Amino acid sequence: MSLFVSVDNIDKIFPLSGGAEYVALKGISLDIKKGEFISLIGHSGCGKSTLLNMIAGLNLPSAGLITLEGQQIKQPGPDKMVIFQNYSLLPWLTARQNIALAVDEVMKGASDSERRAAVEEHIDLVGLRHAAEKLPKELSGGMKQRVAIARALAIRPKLLLLDEPFGALDALTRGNLQEQLMRICEAYQVTSVMVTHDVDEAVLLSDRIVMLTNGPGSQIGGILEVDIPRPRKRMEVVAHPSYYSLRSEIIYFLNQQKRVKKLRAKKVTTVSRHGLEKVNLELGFVPLTACAPLVVAQEKGFFTKQGLDEVSLVRETSWRGIVDGIAGGYLDGAQMPAGMPTWLTAGGHREQPLPVVTALTMTRNGNGVTLSRALYEKGVYSAADFKRFLLASDGEPHTLGMVHPSSMHNLLLRYWLAAQGIDPDRDVNLKTIPPAQMVADLKAGTIDGYCVGEPWNLRAAMEGAGFTIATDLEIWQGHPGKVLGVREDWALKYPNTHIALVKALLEACQYCADPNHETEIRELLAGRNYLSTSVDYIQLGDPNQYSCDLDKPAEYAHHLFFGAAVNRPSRTEHLWMMTQMARWGEIPFPRNWVEILERVCRVGVFSAAARELGLDVNYQRRPIALFDGAEFNAEDPISYLTQSAIHRNFTMAEVHLDGARLAAA
């Protein structure tokens, strides 16, 4: 498909009374190919209809340029037909006459017979032969909209623009018209742009879905490619593997925009107290057993003890929510997978470096690789068995879940697979799934296994849905699991608050490590505000006695919350994670990796917090010892990276942190 419509960096500004201005759209750029169906989706007030009207020529951008086939759009015309939600039919004309009015006006050079033929063709195209002589008042809502569609298409427009065309119709009528519109667009290769609030409608009809952020100053927040093949039918698209992931992506985006809108409306002011620059904090977490230090710091008063009087714990369903909260600035800090600060700093999020620091490792261990019961019943008891199973599958796809590209789950799973000669991108399909969704997907058979933190490995085992084939004990005993992450600019703005936050969580880590507190902590975590699950699934000590009753239950690794060299951030460990993310193409390997590590790992903040608590800050460097015996050379990470038997063709880049840009090689 060739480029057909170009929206080039447009702004739209409306004047307000008193000389003020309202910026509706800011920096919108979009290229549309001939024959493509584009949907615009977003909350009310995000500028969807404004953008559609500018493409139609009904309004002009305040800045930027919109072109159709290389010609600037300056005014409306018959080459750009708009279908509105309210039909816009002339009430004194029949269905046939409404269509003929447009045809006669636009096709003046055609003969009477040619114009009549165009009208009749489109009456049949939308199935209105039986109602051609009826007035609009005699037609149902769906029939009126069919007349509007026939009128728009009968004049052969270059571009069809639809502003919530089915919004006022009942579900059955809407579904039938959607399928009719799809057939027409495919048959005539009509280029279409549609405004909609309906997520399912967008997935069904579109080639691409453009998601707009909240106004004022709305921008394109993301564009989804719909890879569901055409022709499509409503009752069949739901069976396509991409349908629910696309739907979930849109719903997540819309929910995040709603949340951002609420946070903007709150207008929270910074509260300073007790010599701290800020005591009212929003801290994000994902419901896992590893969130225990945050929960304990809140419930046992460690935040308050350190002067942080107003701490709110914000539960996110996925690590993506944590990323958005930190990137958007509406979380002060968060529990993060160990690799996320480095991933964000090195430009993993939208290829834009976002400096994030960590001064505390909150947990180590607690992860495992779980495979389905069906694989166990087929004789898969080890990694070698799994490789033989894949080789015997004759190209049949097998999917494994992980929680985020920067997580140790992803990095350990990939390392474990690659060490067995299994290419994690070619021999299996790795899919990002929220932790709480893992067991449900395993039971549904949509995935063959996953790597995740507790309680989701133990729960799958206890419910007989799967078995843990490998744990931290077998891959990397004592690896970093979850860390405290805050934006670098936040840490610089609130240095005393940062140390107080680390102190509170370090005390909570020490509390979690005491076996006398295990029962209490399990009950706290199981509560509705945190994991909201049965206390039986939460084990902080030795969970082996609770594991599945398959013939060969795994040896589970419990969490390490506190102890010698447990909590101090390690630059060597973050360098290993950096090499692994570059190995699999998650980030370029930074040429200035030493600077990145210095910026990410705030050892000084940790040491200050530990000293003020009277804790020993002496540190003995831990060697990184993985199960395959490969030695990690921190002095020459590039050689370590290139010597990996299986890796992607990685790039190197200078990461410019102060300018927040990524200069890739």
Concatenating the DSSP letter of every residue in 4-15 gives EEEEEEEEEEEE
Q: Which residue has the tokens 């702004």?
A: 11
For the whole model, what pTM was predicted?
0.81
Residue 553 burial by CB count (10 A; 0-12/13-18/19+): exposed, middle or buried?
Answer: middle
Query: Cβ distance 483 to 360 under 8 Å?
Result: yes
Q: Where are the domains of the chain?
A: 3-79+157-259, 268-366+479-664
Residue 168 burial by CB count (10 A; 0-12/13-18/19+): exposed, middle or buried?
Answer: middle
Q: What is the pLDDT of residue 616?
A: 84
Cα pseudo-dihedral 479, 481, 486, 487, rounded to 10: 70
Tokens of 541: 């000590």
List the beta bridge partners of residue 333: 283
CATH code of the region 268-366+479-664? 3.40.190.10
Cis peptide before 229 (omega within 30 of 0): no
Domains 3-79+157-259 and 268-366+479-664 share a fold: no
Q: Residue 53: in which H helix or E strand, if any? A: helix 48-56
Q: Considering only CA atoms, which of 34, 351, 431, 360 is closest in space to residue 207?
A: 34
Query: Cβ distance 134 to 68 under 8 Å?
Result: no
Q: Considering only CA atoms, which of 368, 373, 484 is closest in space to residue 435?
A: 368
Between helices 292-299 and 495-513, what is the axis angle to 10°? 100
DSSP-assigned states of every residue in 392-441: TTTT---EEEES-TTSHHHHHHHHHHHHTT--TTTTSEEEE--GGGHHHH
Three-class secondary structure assignment of 180-236: HHHHHHHHHCCEEEEECCCHHHHHHHCCEEEEECCCCCECEEEEEECCCCCCCCHHH
Q: Which CATH number fits domain 3-79+157-259: 3.40.50.300, 3.30.2320.80, 3.90.870.30, 3.30.2020.30?
A: 3.40.50.300
Q: What is the pLDDT of residue 181?
A: 81
Residues 6+ away with beta carbon under 8 Å from 275: 307, 496
Q: What is the pLDDT of residue 541?
A: 66
Q: What is the pLDDT of residue 548?
A: 44
Query: Cβ distance 342 to 596 under 8 Å?
Result: yes
Q: What is the pLDDT of residue 555?
A: 52
Residues 6+ away with beta carbon under 8 Å from 613: 503, 506, 507
Three-state DSSP class for 569? coil
Phi and psi (nearest 5°) for 125? -60, -35
Q: Considering only CA atoms, which of 136, 159, 158, 155 is closest in space to residue 146?
A: 136
Residues 6+ away with beta carbon under 8 Å from 492: none
Classify residue 601 by its DSSP letter.
B
Q: Considering only CA atoms, which of 215, 260, 261 is closest in space to residue 45?
A: 215
Ranges of the chain whose pLDDT falls below 70: 1-2, 267, 541-557, 621, 659-665
Q: Considering only CA atoms, which of 427, 428, 424, 426 is closest in space to residue 416?
A: 424
Query: Cβ distance 404 to 337 under 8 Å?
Result: yes
CA dist 5 and 645 (Å) reads 46
Tokens of 19: 């000389």
CA dist 643 and 626 (Å) reads 16
Q: Which residue has the tokens 């795994």?
A: 554
List the beta bridge partners of residue 482: 337, 363
Q: Which residue has the tokens 């509705």?
A: 528
Q: How far is CA 493 from CA 254, 277, 335, in A?
A: 31, 8, 20
Cα pseudo-dihedral 503, 509, 511, 515, rounded to 10: -160
